[in-house]
Amino acid sequence: MNVLVAVAIAPFGVGDELSEEVAQVVSVIRASGLRTRTTAMFTEIEGEWDEVMACVREATFVLARKGIRTEVVLKADVRPGYANTIDGKLERLERALAEGKGHEG
């Protein structure tokens, strides 16, 4: 079943600047071959449940295997019968905004 997750995987106790460790995590996610999008706070991953969860596991363990305490925040949208939700959700939002459906009154 298709799932879209937003995941933040971050190290603890390695200093104030985390971009190098986060880059290691994001590299694993992007190498998975799944559809992804990285923003300032989360990386979205879309695909079949087992593949996405395996990707999250591997991305988490890239730091944990180095002895780095690692926090994972994950939000999942499981919507049976839908695919391409990584783009579709934004397309529907932008269409509603363009049609003025975001205004009250």
For residue 86, being part of any structural domain is answered with yes
Domain total of the chain: 1
For residue 31, being part of any structural domain is answered with yes
What are the pLDDT digits (tens) for 24-44?
999 999 999 999 999 999 999
Position 16 scores a pLDDT of: 75
Q: Bigger pLDDT: 105 or 70?
A: 70
pTM over 0.95? The answer is no
In whole angstroms, what is the distance from residue 31 CA to residue 55 CA? Answer: 9
Angstrom CA distances, 49 to 59, 86, 91, stand at 15, 14, 23
For residue 24, being part of any structural domain is answered with yes
Mean pLDDT of the chain: 92
Confidence band for 14, pLDDT divided at 50, 70 and 90 = confident
Residue 17 lies in domain: 2-98
For residue 105, being part of any structural domain is answered with no
Position 104 scores a pLDDT of: 66
For residue 30, being part of any structural domain is answered with yes
